[in-house]
Each structure stands twice: as C-alpha cells, then as structure tokens.
Structure 1
Amino acid sequence: MAHKIEELLHIMARLRDPGKGCPWDLKQDWNSIAPYTIEEAYEVADAIEQGDFDELRSELGDLLFQVVFYARLGEEQGRFDFDGIVDAICEKMIRRHPHVFADSEYEDETALKAAWDAEKSRERQDRNQGSSALEGVALALPALVRADKLQKRAARVGFDWPDAGGAMDKLLEELEEVQQAVEEADAEALKDELGDLLFAAVNIARLLGVDAEQALRRGNSNFESRFHRMENLLRAEGHEDPASLSLKQLENAWERAKAMEKMET
C-alpha cells in the first residue's frame, strides 16, 4: 500500500504529541534540527554521486521528513503549516516562470536568466533584506558554495573578471601572498591569504562553468580511490604498513597507481 503525505504528517504529529510522543522528538527545536537537515542534504548528494537510486529514494524521504518536522514546529507555534509551505513554493515557482505559466517570452537563455535574477532581487527587496547586492546569501552554506554565490551576486552589478584569465592571474597573485605570509611566519596573515587563495580558485571554477563544490568532492573521491590503489600495490609488494616507508617510496607508489588508473580509462 502506497503511503500518502497526510500519513507522514500524522506520524510527525504523533511523534510530537506532548503526552504520548517520542522524548527525543519532543526535545527538538529549530536550531537542534538544522544540522540534521544539512546532513540529510549531503546524504542525498552522496547517493546521487554514487548512482545508488535505492539509497537516493531513502535519503530523499529523510530530507522530506526534515521539511515535515519544520512544518510541525511552525504549526505548533502558530507560524505556518505544511500547506503553507506548499503554497509558498507553488506561488514562487509560478511567479518566477512567467514564460511557462503566463504569456512572457524571452529571446534566449541569457534574457531568461536576467529576468529570473531580477525577480529574485525584487523578492529580496520585498523582504527588506537591504540594498546590498550581497544581501541574503546564507551564512550556513558550505564555504565553497557561499563563495560562488557571493561572486555571482557581485557579477550582477558588473564586479567581475571578463573571463577566467583575469581570475587565474589573481590566483597566482594570491599564491605569492601566501608564500610571503609563510616566510614571515605570520599565522593570522596566512589564514587570510589562504582564504583569498581559495576564493580565487572558486572564481576560476565559476568563470569556467564548473561547480567548485562538486569539483572538490570529485577531487576528494579521486584522491581516496588513488590512495586505496596505492595501498593495495604496496600490500602486494609485501608492505603492510605504509608508514614504515619513506616519502620517496610512497610517491613512487602513488605515481604507479595514477598510471594504472589512466590505463583503465
């Protein structure tokens, strides 16, 4: 039997029932639930990257449950309920897609994106989020994602490199400043310069049409795969403990692992 959203809402209400509910669920509030929401979103992304669609179905359910949990908290406090959440997103999607739900037409995708950005800007002004082009970029976003969004907001007012070449030059400049901070043994300056270096790297990715967060996740995955391959090579050669080897030996095994990987692709 297929379950309906109404049943999930009923389950949530039972879990939060003051008399017969779950003690853990009853203790939760907006702030305590937020970290779980972020975790569930990452698990959805991980299932997609793994191509595991059975797991994706499960993780999407967990993420939906987070929305239902917030809806219940909102209803208990007289702020909003699940129907209100659905109404809000339906109205927003219809408003932001006049080319689908109304008679608006746009010449190309660029014009469509400009209209989308203008509508989002108007919405921010309606919410009194301030006059800055950078207002409303959530602090809780992963740093790479937030850097990308800040750069895109700045680009809307013309504060941007014309192409990735300028951003690459900036990256080299920031790298020199990192080196200077290292030579001067200035720990605080080093933190600032490394932050600027990473920000510049995100800029390059953005201008080249690459999602920096996904690129780094891919880099992490590649490193993990190659490292496991290196460990297997060393074990096959009788080296059970990589820590007992010199850096030169480890680098040699690493390069052989990379070469094997290239041969398989």
Structure 2
Amino acid sequence: MNNTSSADRRPEQLAAFGRLLDVLDRLRAECPWDRKQTMQSLRHLTIEETYELSDAILRDDLSDVRKELGDVMLHLVFYAKIAAEKGAFDIADVLNAQCEKLIFRHPHIYGDVTVSSEEDVKRNWEQLKLKEKGNSSVLGGVPVSLPALVKAMRIQEKARGAGFDWERKEQVWEKVQEELHEFGEEFAEAEHSPEHQQRAAAEFGDLLFSLINFARFAGINPEEALEHTNRKFIRRFQYLETAAAQDGHQLADLTLAQMDVYWNQAKALPVDETNPTSEK
C-alpha cells in the first residue's frame, strides 16, 4: 500500500468490503462448515481471534495486525450475515447505527458543544451513553464478563467520567499504602481461621484495585504493563531452561541458588537474546 489518502482509496476500500460480503455469501451457501455456524458457535472463536490481534499489536507486528484484523472483520460480517438470515438486521444496519452513535457522541464535532480537553470529551461521552442507553447507573454499561483487571479499569474510568475521582495521584498512593497495610494485618492472621483468610482475600482485592487506580493516574495501562512482565518472565525462564539443559542439567535437580545463576544471566542479556524463539 502507498501513502494515498484514505479518501482517495475509498472506491477500492468499498470494493474490498463488498468482495468480503460476496465471498461470505458463497461460503455460507456452499461450504458445509460455514453453513452450520451460529452466533453461539462463533463466539469462542471470535474471542480467540481478538486475543491473537492483541498479541500482534503488543509485538508491533503490522503484518500480523493486518492478517488478524481480517480474521476479526470476517467474524463481524459473519454475525451480521446470520442476523440477516433471521430477518433481524444486516451489515448496513450495523454500520449505519454505529455512524449515528458516533455522531451523537461527538457533539463537539457534529454539534455546537465546546470542549477544552480530552477529559471533557470523555466526560461528555459517558454522560451521553447514559442518556442513550437509559442506564440508571454510570456503571451499568460495564460488561459483566470482562476480565477482572480490565473491568476495574473501566469501572474507574466511568466513575471518573461522572466526576467521582481522586484529585491528586499522591492521594491514590496513600490509599495504596493503606490497603497494603490492611492486607498485611489480615494476612498475618489468615492461617488462624477461614474468616481471616476470607478477609485477607478481600483486602488483597482492595489492594489490587487501588494499584490499578494509581496506574491510571500515573498514565500506565496496568493490563499492558502486566502482560509485558509476563512476557519478560517467560523469556527469562525459557533462557534458564535452555542454558541449564546445555550444561547437562535438569531443572528438577538444581537448587534455587543454582537456578538463580541462570536467571541473573538472563536478566543481563538484551531482550532479543534472552529467548531466541519467536513470541508468536
């Protein structure tokens, strides 16, 4: 692809989208696998494809991002195709409704509302969502099935959009310290009774929630930060396994001190050398 503007490529983009719809129409009519699919059968595959797209984005692999976007796009038009067969809606209904929603939620672009910052845009967005969906609670739009860490982020962002938030990050850090102390107290007693164990678990949840809150104030995405740490640990541990095997050792036969030698070697190496295998 060259650097031609999106508007200049609009006919080509529309033709490509139409081609995808045509291909799916034929597959749905003639392929036994595609013909038997339902929204329910596609659901877990869509989740998998979304995670694969997420992985490609984290690797900054634009070639894979393009491929994974295609897979996700196929699933989106597939759902619309199934709905059209049921007489519920089709892809045009989906896209037109999305356009109307975007126009409605951007009155500073399509209307006469004035904003002075990104925070104003976010605040307006949440207020318009409440009005649009008729939710009685600001938090009513947070999906129940979201992973807990991501859900905590969304809860805090929505509360902030309603004006319920800390004023300074120092206040949030004090809250982290308070929750850490409370968890420590309950954990010290946790082995003495199931009640203390339950309270320790509850305080640990409070601690995590406050850390996620502080990350938001610090401009850190905690989900991405944790995933980078996961990948770092995997690289270093795999180096440990490989290096130990090259020296004729089984991990089960090594002491923790011996494993720490390899671990420290892994920490000292550049990221792209700690694991010669791809993360794909």
In structure 2, the CA distance between the partners of 1:171 and 1:206, relative to structure 1 (3 Å rule), is farther
Equivalent residue for 1:83, pick from 68, 74, 92: 92
How far apart in 2 are the matches of 1:181 and 1:28? 53
Is 1:196 aligned to residue 196 of structure 2? Answer: no
2:183 to 142, 150, 175: 175
Aligned to 2:56, the other structure's residue is in SS state helix
Q: Of the candidates 130, 138, 141, which is equivalent to residue 136 of structure 1?
A: 141
1:261 Cα deviation after fit = 4.3
Q: CA 1:195 to 1:85, structure 2 compared with 1: closer, same or farther past 3 Å?
A: same
What residue in structure 1 maps to residue 5 of structure 2?
none
Q: Which amino acid aligns with 2:106?
A: H
Distance 1:26 1:193 in 2: 50
Q: What are the equivalent positions in structure 2 for 1:35-74 lying under 5 Å apart?
A: 35-74=44-83
Q: Which ranges of structure 2 fall in alignment gaps of 5 or more residues? A: 1-11, 274-280
SS at match of 2:139: coil
The alpha-carbon deviation at position 256 of structure 1 amounts to: 3.2
Q: Against the structure 1 CA distance between its residues 4 and 199, is the aligned structure 2 distance closer, same or farther, given a 3 Å change threshold?
A: same
Q: Which amino acid aligns with 1:223?
A: F
Contact 1:233 1:257 in 2 (8 A): no
Q: Give percent identity, aligned residues only.
A: 38
Q: Which moved more, 1:39-48 or 1:148-157?
A: 148-157
Tell me the distance in 1 between the aligned counterparts of 2:248 and 2:210.
40
Q: Which residue of 2 aligns with 1:161?
A: 166
Could you tell me the TM-score, scaled by structure 1's length?
Answer: 0.83
Q: Could you tell which deviates more after superposition, 158-167 or 82-91? A: 158-167
Deviation at residue 170 of structure 1 after TM alignment: 4.0
Could you tell me how far apart the structure 1 residues matched to 2:163 and 2:191 are?
36
Amino acid at match of 1:184: H
> In structure 1, the residue corresponding to 2:89 is in which secondary structure?
coil
* 8 A Cα contact 1:171 1:197, kept in partner: yes
**1:64 & 1:212 partners in 2: Cα distance?**
27
Sort the Cα spacing of 1:98 and 1:154 in 2 relative to 1 into closer, same or farther, 3 A. Answer: closer
Q: Which runs of 5+ in 1 are unaligned?
A: none
Could you say what secondary structure the match of 1:7 adopts?
A: helix
* 1:73 positional shift: 1.5
1-side partners of 2:50 and 2:182: how far apart?
32
- The whole-number CA distance in structure 2 between the counterparts of 1:181 and 1:9 is 61
Residue 222 of structure 1 is matched in structure 2 by: 232
Mapped partners of 1:75, 1:43: distance in 2: 27
Q: Post-superposition shift, 1:99?
A: 2.6
SS of residue paired to 2:269? helix
After the TM superposition, which of the residue ranges 186-195 and 147-156 deviates more from structure 2? Answer: 186-195
Structure 2 Cα separation of the partners of residues 181 and 255 of structure 1: 34
Q: 1:98 to 1:157 in 2, by over 3 A?
A: closer
Pairwise CA distance, 1:122: 1.7
State the partner residue of 2:9.
none
Q: What's the C-alpha RMSD, in Å, of the aligned pairs?
A: 2.7
Using the TM superposition, give the Cα deviation of residue 185 of structure 1 relative to its aligned residue in structure 2, in angstroms. 5.5
Trace 1:97-116 onto structure 2 (pairs within 5 A).
97-116=106-125
Distance 1:124 1:173 in 2: 40
Counterpart-to-counterpart distance in 2, 1:25 and 1:196: 46
Is 1:255 matched up with 2:267?
Answer: no
Distance 1:67 1:178 in 2: 47
Structure-2 residue corresponding to 1:12: 24
2:236–2:266: 8 Å Cα contact kept in structure 1? yes
Contact 1:144 1:213 in 2 (8 A): yes
Secondary structure of residue in 1 paired with 2:142 = coil
Please give the TM-score of this superposition, normalised by the length of structure 2.
0.79
